């Protein structure tokens, strides 16, 4: 398994990790037994970076991983997150909390649910605009000193926020959405991570499954799949984006690989400090994704991909307006 380092003196992780969110939340029906088989298969294949969060479920995903960690903890670089607060009365409503006391209580909750003594990589899931980042990261740093967390990360943090956070305590990973259809990190984040010695973790590198080419209609989603209400999967946006994906499928066919493999190889080609965490609930999808590690894309091939899927080609916001307010830009 190809390895990459998350930050200077950070953990060595598989170039492709596994995003575990969809095993427990947001993407419709899920099967814990099937998910556990996929998790074990991932470790068998050499994938060691597993990514979860307390709000996935909420809590169900951390509890699912706990079943795996009972016997295979030493094989895992375990990443989880805090900071998005769910409303039990209204699952669609959510807020952000970065207060120091919340940082501490969230960590204790995750440690208990995961059944571990230490979290390898602890992220602030979204930055709280009401709390100075220095205060939040200061509390996270206390967790490192207490031996409850090994490395710190931020998710969807603006460049200035990352700089300020890194001045308080080394940040080893910035996690943000990055794929052929979400190119925002190319504006500043990728270069800043390289400058500061911070690893970049690309989530949704397959555009929430859209870039695999397997999704042909909104009817392909379960009734409770949140993608049904996501702007890029709506009406004309869906049709325009599907035409872009079909162009990627054609390039993949010429390359002799799957669209997912081409899309993942494209992400990884943009820097040795980049790691991608595609989700996969089934072993066959995991194996297909891992095939991307065998691909090498030439400058001409990268240019050809950009020609059919340029940075501004996608139609629709990546989240609904209310959720986009939680993303620093």
Q: What angle do CA 205, 93, 83 make, to 5 degrees?
A: 60
141 class by beta-carbon count within 10 Å (0-12 exposed, 13-18 middle, 19+ buried)? middle
Total Cβ atoms within 10 A of residue 63: 17
Catalytic site residue from 56, 123, 178, 226: 56
Strand extents, DSSP E, the chain: 3-5, 12-14, 18-19, 49-51, 77-82, 84-87, 90-96, 119-124, 149-155, 171-177, 199-203, 274-277
Q: What is the DSSP letter of 294?
A: G
Residue 56 falls in the annotated catalytic set: yes
| Whole-number Cα distances in Å, 247 to 21, 26, 134, 174, 241 | 28, 28, 45, 30, 10
Q: Cα 24 to the chain's mean position, in Å?
A: 15
Catalytic residues: 56
């Amino acid at each position: 398994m190809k390895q990459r380092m998350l930050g200077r003196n950070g953990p060595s992780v598989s170039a492709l990790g596994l995003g575990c969110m969809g095993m427990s939340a947001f993407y419709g029906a899920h099967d814990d037994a099937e998910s556990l088989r996929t998790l074990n298969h991932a470790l068998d294949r050499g994938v060691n970076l597993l990514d979860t969060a307390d709000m996935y479920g909420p809590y169900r995903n951390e509890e699912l991983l706990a079943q795996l960690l009972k016997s295979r903890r030493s094989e895992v670089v375990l990443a989880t997150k805090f900071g998005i607060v769910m409303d039990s009365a209204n699952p669609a409503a959510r807020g952000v909390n970065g207060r120091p006391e919340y940082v501490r209580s969230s960590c204790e909750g995750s440690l208990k649910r995961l059944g571990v003594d230490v979290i390898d990589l602890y992220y602030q899931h979204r930055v709280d605009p009401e709390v100075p980042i220095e205060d939040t990261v200061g509390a996270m740093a206390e967790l490192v000193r207490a031996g409850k967390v090994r490395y710190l990360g931020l998710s969807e943090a603006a460049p200035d926020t990352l700089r300020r956070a890194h001045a308080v305590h080394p940040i080893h990973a910035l996690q943000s959405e990055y794929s052929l259809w979400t190119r925002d990190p190319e504006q500043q984040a990728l270069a800043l991570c390289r400058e500061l010695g911070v690893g970049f973790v690309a989530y949704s590198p397959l555009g929430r499954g859209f870039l695999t080419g397997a999704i042909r209609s909104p009817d392909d989603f379960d009734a409770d799949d949140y993608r049904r209400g996501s702007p890029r999967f709506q009406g004309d946006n869906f049709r325009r984006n599907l035409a872009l994906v079909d162009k990627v499928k054609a390039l993949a066919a010429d390359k002799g690989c799957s669209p997912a493999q081409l899309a993942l190889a494209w992400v990884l080609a943009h820097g040795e400090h980049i790691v991608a965490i595609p989700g996969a609930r089934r072993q066959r999808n995991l194996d297909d994704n891992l095939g991307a590690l065998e691909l090498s894309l030439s400058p001409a091939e990268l240019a050809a991909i950009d020609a059919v899927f340029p940075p501004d080609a996608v139609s629709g916001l990546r989240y609904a307006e209310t959720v986009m307010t939680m993303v620093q830009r």
